[in-house]
Chain A
Amino acid sequence: MTEAPVPANPSDVEPLDAYALLSKPTLELSDAEVKTIIAHLRAKREAYVTSGGKKADKRPVAKPAAEPITEEKKADNTSLLLAMLEQQKPEGDN
């Protein structure tokens, strides 16, 4: 079994944010973790209140990275567009 690497320094471990802490499968939070959650919630409240309720507090959802548009794809898209325009030409047009 491969063991997880032990960080050289405890401070190298990324602290969990409030969202992650509240998704934990375990049933315990340390005092520090509870304080982290409270501080997070207060920061969110500050943003919500000062924006008049417009800045909603929603957990960021990671979006998949957009695929880069290649020259080949551009050429394909251009051909497709020209073909569509050709189809839409009324009969008799040159």
Chain B
Amino acid sequence: MSVDLPHVFEASPFIEGTQIQFAWDSVSLTSILSCPYRYKLEIIEGWQPRNPNFAIALVFGILYHEGMQYYHEAKAEGQDHEEAIFTSCRKLTQQDTFWSLPTFEEIEEIKEETDDEDDGITLRNSKIRTRYHLLRAVVWYLDNYANDPLETFILPSGAAAVEQSFRVDLPFESGGHPLLLSGHLDRVVTFNDHLYVTDYKTTKSLSRQFFSAFKLSHQFSGYIFGGNISFDRPISGAYIDGIALLVGGAKFSRAPTQRSPGELDEYFRTVKYAADLARTCHETQNYPRNTSACYFCQYKTICEQPPEYRQKYLEMWFQQQPAWNPLRNR
């Protein structure tokens, strides 16, 4: 049964008066399963890096999704491919955030400022996320899939099933409190009379390794489960819609992923475990560090400091933003 929350701009995912999360999504799930201490900093307290790379990557990703949304909505309204591409580019270039992406000139400045002691991350991340790269990725993708076999599902309202949020009851509780699963589907499509969820993923290389990593992804398990509840037809699976961002071009490829009933059951037990773990951490006020998961963690430099200094380094290298909220309207 899907849950319609009241039209509150932003309901809290925590039980009132506590930091015990009851509404879960793949971001918060991945966070606590990686490391409870990371979960505390990222999801409960909302610490995000001050590094501008982080903002550029986030803005680029949001704009790319918006470009796709504008196109599919325009097609659902009756525009043809050419008109819809123009509509998408027109709307993107009317966003203030589009103009906050770097220009080629700014990339040249970054190159000149990058010396031998620099780790080069700012340059590597920025040079494939300029204004030009965004529009190129959008136009090339849409032309590549001009005759897309995955057709956008049209809702009973006549709207395209793009950027669809869902919130569904989970079939179990934690500490006597019901649990919700929320998510956001990039696009729902039909293929051979079956419904699928598609999700855009940008990467540097569309390798077999890239696609195979999503077989165990909680995100796609959640999409398939949530989609099954939210639509009147079962979801047969999901497609990873890969976009390789390169300095001199872009490439595209897709791969399917599915979940058996046994795999979905295993996913439910994982969500229950995560919810119970978050509850225990809150009740004991102990969020232990999983030091075997530090390699890709953005908080590694914080954990490397003595505990009595961590707050100071957090305030220096990170900033508190409104914490990630699975229930935020998008």
List chain A positions with a Cβ less than 8 A from chain B: 18-19, 22-23, 27-29, 31, 34-35, 37-38, 41-42, 44-45, 48, 53, 56-59
Contacts and interface: CB of A to CB of B under 8 A. Distances in A.
Contacts of A23: 103-105
Contact of A27 (B96, B103, B139): B96
A37 B134 CA distance: 12
How many residues of B sit at the interface, in one of the four size bands?
20 to 34
A59 B90 CA distance: 22
Given A23-B104, A41-B136, A41-B139, A29 B85 contact: no
B60 to A, nearest CB: 14
B221 to A, nearest CB: 34
Given A22-B131, A37-B135, A38-B89, A53 B143 contact: no
A22 B143 contact: no
Nearest to B91: A34
10 contacts: A22-B132, A23-B103, A34-B86, A34-B93, A37-B89, A37-B135, A41-B136, A48-B249, A57-B136, A58-B247
A57 B247 CA distance: 8
B201 interface: no
Contact of B103 (A22, A42, A57): A22
Interface in B125-140: 130-132, 135-136, 139-140
A44 B139 CA distance: 11
B104 A56 contact: no
9 smallest CB-CB distances across A and B, nearest first, come from A56-B248, A41-B139, A22-B131, A23-B103, A58-B248, A29-B93, A22-B132, A48-B249, A45-B140
Contacts of B104: 19, 22-23, 59
